[in-house]
A and B are shown apart, each in its own frame.
Chain A
Amino acid sequence: MHHWHWLIVIYLFLGGLGAGAYLTSFAAEKGWLGKNSRLNRVGYYIAAPVVAFGTALLVLDLGQGLYKPWLLFRLLFNLGSVMTWGVYILSLFIIIGLIKGFLVWKNKTAPNWLTWAGAVFALATGAYTGLLIAVVKAVPFWNTFLMPVLFVVSALSTGLSVTALGAHFVEKNGNANATEGKVHLGLVIVEIVVVAIFFGMMAAGAKGPVGAASASLVMAGKYALVFWGYFIALGLLLPLVVFGLEYQRAKQAGHQVVTEPAASGSEVAVAAESGHHSYLVLVTDLAVLVGGFALRALVIFAALPIWDGKLL
């Protein structure tokens, strides 16, 4: 009983990815990702195009997307529908994101309110993709407010990864810094906690037998390999280990700077600053993207309806 398929999975993933990319560059611009983070531009470049591409896929998935596209104007009509909220949020985010990206590209200063408005709509975009399905009472697996929380955390994590990957190939100057790794480690830990609560709650039957059936479909059934392999191992545990070890190393290096300033303090500091930069980290960023995609696929495909259509 799946009515939504891969196009919607990709759209949900890209919506989160673009939103997270914007917020990554926003955080870098505000100095929250360490001094001179080189993630302060790439996220702005890719955010709006990624979300716009996802939205285009969404339009293709509509029965009337190419047939009677003028009907799509009506998508703005039902202010009580979360999907309508999404149309407003996505449209505004794409517009603001394009302007901000263009200004950054031209090395022009964007008005502060515009940058902030973009961040607010980015957060709204990430939350919306989760809220869209969280309000569906007839699908117990979706019907929890942990869903938008999970989607936002995953959006931030995948956004940080895609921006780091982009910066590696695009930015000539600067290096990845240790703070970025530390922030990502924090996001991964939060996501693991949310995932544990969500699946624990579902499996325990907090959303009834159908919610538990969805959870077991994911954890022990048809989708177990995708769940444990792609989502948990690649998307969460690998980043936990890699970013965790990096954090450990950076902390020790920082400690050395304090205790042995006379030795080669500045060199160590540089090494620590550039610590979040290796092929292993790049592979890990890629793994985060795989995990984020797997999460969207699992959530859509494990959605069992509250009634299976059978007469007992």
Chain B
Amino acid sequence: MNSAKKVSISRRSVLKAGAVATFVLATGITPTMVKADTAQDTPKNPNQIGFIYDQNKCINCKMCAKACNEANNWEEGTEWRRVIVGGKDNKHYLSYSCNHCENPACAQVCPVLAYKKRDKDGIVIHNREVCVGCKYCMYACPYHVPEFSPATGRINKCHFCYQRQDNGEKPACVSKCPTGALSFGVLSEIRKTPGATAQLEGMPSPDITKPSWVLIPKA
């Protein structure tokens, strides 16, 4: 009897441990995985391209931003690509531009249809010739990518150097990165990179717009 009871207790404790483990998995690990998963899902467009940025390799030289400006002539007051500095040591960097999101909030709110998401590669292109400068997209984009140029009265933003890409060239920023921290590729492929995520701490949830970017955070 006693031994049977013991067995049943141990069985119960096994069940308990199992329940606890499931709970921990469900609350602790699974959500982060799910969170990453929602952004790491297979992209709706299999040809969607995206930037991939390795925080470990970046040296904050800002060649990417400089190359972008040279190639695209940013209108006054706009920055198509930015390198920001942070972290406890102030040695963490992030070079970012438009994420060419799967659900671009800019395009959803734009009343004049200035934004087009190309079928070919999922690049979100803003046509500044038809932009009326209402600034709605500036509120809609969680990443503050669209910027208004007071000089021209319209929005400017990264277009992934789509003309260069159509000519078989790399985007200007990627071509000038000396360390290989910034690169680009087919999203479904680059998402397989070890350590890849779509969200850095304190940054917007990728669920909002499903950004087509891959980040490799510094440990």
Contact = CB atoms under 8 A, between A and B. Distances in A.
Interface string A294-312: 0000000001011101111
Which of B92, B105, B136, B201: most chain A Cβ within 10 A?
Answer: B136
B133 A64 contact: yes
Q: Is the interface of A mostly helix, strand, loop or mixed?
A: loop
Contact of A311 (B86, B139, B149): B86
A11 to B, nearest CB: 12
B157 interface: no
Interface stretch (A28-36, A136-144, A193-201): A136-144
A135 interface: yes
B87 A305 contact: no
B219 interface: no
A113 interface: no
A138 B204 CA distance: 8
A306 to B, nearest CB: 5
A189 interface: no
Given A83-B134, A137-B105, A78 B143 contact: no
B208 interface: yes
B202 A312 contact: yes
A62 B132 contact: yes
Interface string A80-91: 111110010000
Contact of B111 (A87, A135, A137, A307): A87
Nearest to A132: B136
A75 interface: yes
B137 to A, nearest CB: 9
B83 to A, nearest CB: 10
Interface of B: 84-87, 92-94, 105, 108-113, 130-136, 138-144, 148-150, 152-155, 200-204, 208
16 contacts: A63-B131, A63-B153, A71-B112, A71-B130, A74-B112, A74-B130, A75-B132, A136-B140, A139-B139, A306-B208, A307-B142, A307-B143, A309-B144, A311-B93, A311-B200, A311-B202
Top-5 shortest CB links A-B: A63-B133, A311-B86, A63-B153, A312-B202, A74-B112
Given A75-B132, A305-B144, 13 more contacts: A3-B139, A62-B153, A63-B154, A65-B132, A75-B111, A77-B113, A83-B111, A138-B139, A305-B142, A307-B204, A309-B84, A311-B86, A312-B200
